[in-house]
């Protein structure tokens, strides 16, 4: 009887051990396969900045989402320490800001003060790190709803790309905007 238990125990251990090796081997093959998918591709263009990205630091997303919340709540000064000493911002309307953090916050407060109620509906975000440049970025996609003093509501789709310095501070932003698609009118009721 002891021999049977010993045999069953050994068989169990062998099957567990070989199963884990098989899983590790399969995972390694899958990883190699994923990297080979990118290694064997010849692109018709060479990226001027970088094409070597990986998932970046999630703390940068947290910083950015808090900034969005402060924008919505008209408390942008609460995010002042999220910015580097010198910042550059490229806006979708063609305007650009380059200057100190204090000047950026002053301009942001002025612009935000003219907007009335603002609510962002964040669709998606991704923290990225450019491996060859060792830079942290966050891309974010949102719909911003705003209501002016007269009660007129407008919406726009925003895609923004934010760069963070080595201290986790925002120092660059690119913004792209589009009006939401217009829906056709509802058919008349019969």
pLDDT at site 14: 40
For residues 63 and 37, state if they share a domain.
no
For residues 72 and 161, state if they share a domain.
yes
The answer as to whether 93 is a domain residue is yes
The answer as to whether 48 is a domain residue is no
d(CA 125, CA 38): 23
For residues 106 and 60, state if they share a domain.
yes
Total domains in the chain come to: 2
For residues 154 and 100, state if they share a domain.
yes
Q: Report CA 55 to chain centroid distance, whole Å.
A: 9
pLDDT at site 6: 40
For residues 113 and 93, state if they share a domain.
yes
pLDDT at site 41: 86
Q: Which pLDDT tens digits describe the chain residue by residue (190 residues)?
A: 444 444 444 443 444 444 444 444 454 555 555 555 566 888 999 999 999 999 999 999 999 999 999 999 999 999 999 999 999 999 999 999 999 999 999 999 999 988 889 999 999 999 999 999 999 999 999 999 998 878 888 899 999 999 999 999 999 999 999 987 777 776 777 6
The tokens describing 127, both together, are 């923290």
d(CA 71, CA 76): 5
The answer as to whether 132 is a domain residue is yes
The answer as to whether 116 is a domain residue is yes
For residues 32 and 60, state if they share a domain.
no
For residues 143 and 166, state if they share a domain.
yes
83-116 core/surface letters (b: 16 or more CB in 10 A; e: else): bbeebebbeeeeeeeeeebeebbeebeeebeeee
Residue whose C-alpha is closest to residue 127's, from 67, 175, 62: 62
Q: Report CA 138 to chain centroid distance, whole Å.
A: 4
Domain hosting 2: range is 1-42
């Amino acid at each position: 009887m002891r021999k049977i238990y010993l045999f069953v125990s050994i068989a169990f251990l062998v099957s567990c051990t070989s199963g884990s090796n098989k899983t590790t081997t399969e995972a390694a093959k899958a990883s190699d396969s994923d990297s080979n998918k990118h290694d064997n591709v010849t692109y018709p263009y060479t990226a001027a900045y970088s094409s070597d990205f990986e998932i970046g630091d999630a703390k940068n997303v947290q910083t950015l989402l808090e900034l969005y919340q402060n924008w919505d709540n008209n408390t942008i000064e609460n995010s002042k320490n999220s910015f580097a000493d010198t910042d550059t911002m490229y806006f979708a309307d063609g305007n650009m800001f380059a200057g100190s953090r204090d000047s950026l916050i002053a301009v942001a407060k002025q612009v935000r003060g003219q907007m009335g109620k603002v609510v962002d509906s964040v669709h998606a975000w991704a923290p990225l790190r450019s491996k060859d440049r060792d830079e942290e970025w966050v891309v974010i996609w949102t719909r911003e709803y705003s209501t002016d003093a007269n009660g007129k509501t407008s919406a726009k789709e925003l895609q923004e790309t934010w760069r963070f310095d080595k201290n986790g501070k925002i120092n660059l932003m690119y913004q792209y905007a589009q009006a939401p698609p217009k829906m056709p009118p509802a058919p008349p009721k019969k």
